[in-house]
Amino acid sequence: MLDKLDLNTKAQELREKLGEDANSPVDIFSLVNQIKELTLVLYPLGDNISGMCLRDDQIKLIAINSSMSYGRQRFSLAHELFHMYYDNATGFNVCSKVLDPKSDNERNADQFASYFIAPYKSFRDAVKKESAGGQITLQNIIALEQYFGMSHLAMLWRLVSEGYLSKNSINEYSCGVKTTARNLGYDDTLYSPTPVDHRKRTLGHYLIQVDLLREKDLVSQGKIDELLIEAYRDDIAFGLCEDGGEVID
C-alpha cells in the first residue's frame, strides 16, 4: 500500500490540477466538470457496488451508485478519481461499497478519497477546533462531515485512521445520525440518496459529443433523441422541465 503522505500529496496535486486549492472543502461534482473527455454516469448500482471507472486512450468514464447517500457518492467519486489518475494496474475497476477491508489498491483509493475530500492538515485543524482537545462526540463528527461534505461512515473511518477513534467505537457513533444532524440545524442532504426519479443520469463528455452531432447535422434528430434516451437524458430529448421550469435570478 502507498503511504499516507504520498496519497495526501497525490490528492493535493489533483485538487490543484482541477483548479481547487489544497485545503478547502470542495464541490467535487462541479470540479470534475473540469476534466475534459470525462463522462459521469449516475446509476443505482445495487447494494454492493459503490462505483466503476473505465479508462483507455478513447474513453474516460466514471459511474457512481446514486442509491448511496450523497455524502458517500462524493467520497466514491473521489475514490474513482484515484483509479482514473493514479491506478495503472488495469483500465477497469468495479469498486465495492465496503470501506474495510479490501485489496491494497482499493485501500489506496479510499485513503486518497478521504484526503481529497478532507486534506490532512485542514482535517487535523478542524478536529482540534471542534473537539477542543477533548473526547470527540457525535456532534463533533457531524460538524466535521458537514464541513467537508463526507459521508458519516467515511468520516468515522478517517477518525479511526488518524487515531481519534477506536475501530470498536464505530457502531456506537452510527445511530441517529440524520436526526442529530437535523436537530443541530444542518441540512440532511449528505445522508440521503438521490431522489428515485433522478437516479439515472449522464453528465459530461458524452452529452457534448451528442450536441456536436446535432450541431453539425451529422445524424437525424431521431438518432440524437435515441442517444440521449440511452443516456437517461429524456429531459433533453423531450425538452422536459422536471423541476418546475427555469428561473434566472
Q: By the criterion CB under 5 A, which residues form the site for Zn ion?
A: 93, 95, 106, 109
Residue 66, CA distances (Å) to 174, 194, 213, 242 in order: 21, 6, 28, 18
> Are 161 and 8 in contact, with CB atoms under 8 Å apart?
no
Q: Tell me how far, at minimum, the Cβ of 108 lies from Zn ion, in Å.
A: 9
**Closer by beta carbon to Zn ion, 45 or else 109:** 109
Q: Cβ of residue 134: shortest distance to Zn ion, in angstroms?
A: 35
Q: How far is the CB of 176 from Zn ion (least distance, A)?
A: 30
Q: Is the CB of 95 or the CB of 236 nearer to Zn ion?
A: 95
Which strand ranges, in their side-by-side order, compose the sheet holding 60-65? 92-96, 49-55, 60-65, 38-43, 201-204
Nearer to Zn ion by Cβ, of 53 and 165: the residue is: 53
- Whichever of 41 and 109 has its CB closer to Zn ion, that residue is 109
Looking at the Cβ atoms of 20 and 106, the one nearer to Zn ion is 106
**Which residue number has the CB closest to Zn ion?**
95
Distances (CA, A) of 82 to 43, 162, 195, 214, 249: 20, 20, 27, 34, 37
- Report how far Cα 38 is from the mean position of its chain's Cα atoms: 14
Give whichever of 60 and 233 is closer to Zn ion, judged by the CB atom: 60
Q: Measured from the CB of residue 211, what is the shortest distance to Zn ion in angstroms?
A: 31
**CB–CB of 203/193 below 8 Å?**
no
Rg of the chain taking only CA atoms, in angstroms: 19
Before 101, cis peptide (omega within 30)?
Answer: yes
**Shortest Cβ distance from residue 57 to Zn ion (Å)?**
21
CB of 51 to Zn ion, least distance (A): 7
CB 95 to Zn ion: min, Å: 3
* Per-position DSSP letters for 75-119, written without gaps between them: HHHHHHHHHHHH--S-SEEEEES--SS--HHHHHHHHHHHHHHS-
Q: Which is closer to Zn ion, CB of 69 or CB of 140?
A: 69
Q: How far apart are CA 50 and CA 46, in angstroms?
A: 8
Q: Is 242 exposed, middle or buried (0-12, 13-18, 19+ CB in 10 A)?
A: exposed
